């Protein structure tokens, strides 16, 4: 699968690592260690014509479970352009932890006559046994990634059962302090007014018209790069979500189950029940109206 070129084989170093942890040395990173090992291996193969390319294909802090990594995509593009004949990695899972992703990479390698080498795991992708071994190794890597994902999901579920807010967009009416929701008094008044007016108007459409007229907007929050996001007029969909958000009852939901939250409620039980009953009634009426307008099947 290596291009037969007596002059040289262009070898590309592909590295990937998680971000350095707090307190770790800035002088030496996992990417540096991988790069040094790969460079040493290429030097050992210099007698066969291997030449290390000057371009670096480093994906620092990106998951091996995805193919959408800038350096990996650039590497595959260079293979397609015949700039790279050999990919050199420290370990297979530094390239990908996904079986599907590995299959796509091998397809690109096959199509363009390139090969793949792991410094610490001697594999040859040109043989069926080598590919079988790689697939087995990647199966374990994918299994490890899925187990880690399950552990994270279990931790989130356990935390939510304790009523802990687990992040996301901070709802209108709250701020976050020490990863806990704290009532924002001014915004809480706005939330109460929205619930109260819906209970009186009995229509999300009419509620939106009134909120637009009064200039009531969504919560302003810091977005990417420190830019402010939000602060826009409510859409009907956003109002439906707000009116059904059980956080305002002091609860945290997980998989449609509500748990008592560690934050204070903004909406009292009576107003909450009035709003939910009206939403349910309107929903039934819309379904009945849609059924009446549907053509008869008889």
Round the average pLDDT of the chain to a whole number and report it: 82
Domain final residue, candidates 111, 134, 149:
149
10 Å Cβ neighbour count for 97? 22
Residue 260 phi/psi, 5-degree rounding, is -65, 125
Q: Is residue 281 part of a domain?
A: yes
Q: Is residue 187 part of a domain?
A: yes
pLDDT tops 50 at residue 27: no
Indicate the number of domains in the chain.
2
Residue 48 domain boundaries = 9-149
Q: Is residue 76 part of a domain?
A: yes
Judge contact between 259 and 251, C-beta under 8 A: yes
pLDDT tops 90 at residue 66: no
**Helix, strand, or coil here: 15?**
strand
Q: What is the pLDDT of residues 154-165, one digit of tens each?
A: 888 898 988 899
Q: Confidence band (pLDDT; 50, 70, 90) for 280?
A: very high
- 0.85 exceeded by the pTM? no
Q: What is the pLDDT of residues 189-226, one digit of tens each?
A: 999 999 999 999 999 999 999 999 999 999 988 766 66
CA distance 34 to 56: 12
Q: Is residue 80 part of a domain?
A: yes
Q: Which of 5-14, 132-141, 186-195, 253-262 has maximum average pLDDT?
A: 186-195
Q: Is residue 4 part of a domain?
A: no
Q: Is residue 214 part of a domain?
A: yes
Same domain, 42 and 139: yes
10 Å Cβ neighbour count for 180? 13
**256: CATH:** 3.90.1750.20
Same domain, 27 and 82: yes
Q: Confidence band (pLDDT; 50, 70, 90) for 294?
A: low
Same domain, 116 and 50: yes
Predicted pLDDT at 42: 86
């Amino acid at each position: 699968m290596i291009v037969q070129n007596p002059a040289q084989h262009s070898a590309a170093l592909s590295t990937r690592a998680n971000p350095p942890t707090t307190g770790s040395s800035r002088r030496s990173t996992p990417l540096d260690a991988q790069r040094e090992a790969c460079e040493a291996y290429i030097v050992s193969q210099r007698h066969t014509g291997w030449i290390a390319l000057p371009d670096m294909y480093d994906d620092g802090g990106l998951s091996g479970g995805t193919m959408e990594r800038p350096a990996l995509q650039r590497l595959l593009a260079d293979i397609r352009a015949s700039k790279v004949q050999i990919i050199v990695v420290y370990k297979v899972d530094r390239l990908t932890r996904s079986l599907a992703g590995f299959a796509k990479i091998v397809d690109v390698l096959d199509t363009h006559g390139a090969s793949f080498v792991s410094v610490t795991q001697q594999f040859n992708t040109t043989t069926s046994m080598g590919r079988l071994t790689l697939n087995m190794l990647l199966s374990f890597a994918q299994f490890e990634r899925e187990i880690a994902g399950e552990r994270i999901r279990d931790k989130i579920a356990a935390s939510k059962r304790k009523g802990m807010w687990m992040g996301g967009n901070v709802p209108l009416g709250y701020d976050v302090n020490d990863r806990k929701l704290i009532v924002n008094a001014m915004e809480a008044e706005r939330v109460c007014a929205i619930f109260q007016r819906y209970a009186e108007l009995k229509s999300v459409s009419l509620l939106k018209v009134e909120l637009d007229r009064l200039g009531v907007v969504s919560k302003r929050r810091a977005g990417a790069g420190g830019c402010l996001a939000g602060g826009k007029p409510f859409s009907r969909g956003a109002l439906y979500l707000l009116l059904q958000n059980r956080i305002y009852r002091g609860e945290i939901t997980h998989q449609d189950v509500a748990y008592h939250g560690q934050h204070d409620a903004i909406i009292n039980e009576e107003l909450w029940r009035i709003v939910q009953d009206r939403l349910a009634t309107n929903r039934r009426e819309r379904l009945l109206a849609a059924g009446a307008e549907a053509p008869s099947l008889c």
